[in-house]
């Protein structure tokens, strides 16, 4: 029986199903991915510091629900709030802006 499956790289699959790098659709996909990773980084840092969402919210001055939203979907959070979260976590933040 011949192999029906062919091994391909993740990049090849993304190129095929999302679009090639540099296209509007690919840029939007990669932006969403970075946003999700930022939320996961916040969650991981919070857990490493043994803080609940409620405790982190108190440090930042927001409700637990806001911390949950940030961890699950940063796109709806204010930039100022995200910076306060990182400050409360004692995390170093650096940004790269490419034009």
Please give the CATH architecture assigned to the domain spanning 22-89: Orthogonal Bundle (1.10)
In terms of DSSP H, where are the helices of the chain?
Answer: 10-17, 24-48, 53-60, 64-72, 79-89
Distance CA 25, CA 66 (A): 29
What does pLDDT average to over the chain? Answer: 84
Residue extents of the structural domains in the chain: 22-89
Assigned token pair, 56: 């982190």
Q: How far apart are CA 99 and CA 90, in angstroms?
A: 29
41-77: per-residue pLDDT in tens?
899 999 999 999 999 999 999 999 999 988 987 666 7
pLDDT of residue 5 exceeding 80 = no
């Amino acid at each position: 029986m011949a192999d029906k499956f062919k091994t391909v790289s993740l990049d090849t699959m993304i190129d095929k199903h999302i679009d090639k790098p540099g296209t509007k659709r690919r840029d939007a996909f990669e932006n969403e991915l970075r946003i999700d990773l930022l939320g996961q980084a916040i969650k991981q840092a919070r857990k490493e510091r043994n803080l609940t969402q409620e405790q982190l919210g108190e440090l930042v001055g927001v409700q637990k629900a806001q911390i949950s939203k940030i961890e699950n979907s940063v796109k709806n959070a204010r930039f100022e709030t995200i910076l306060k979260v990182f400050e409360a976590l004692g995390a170093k933040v650096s940004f790269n802006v490419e034009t």
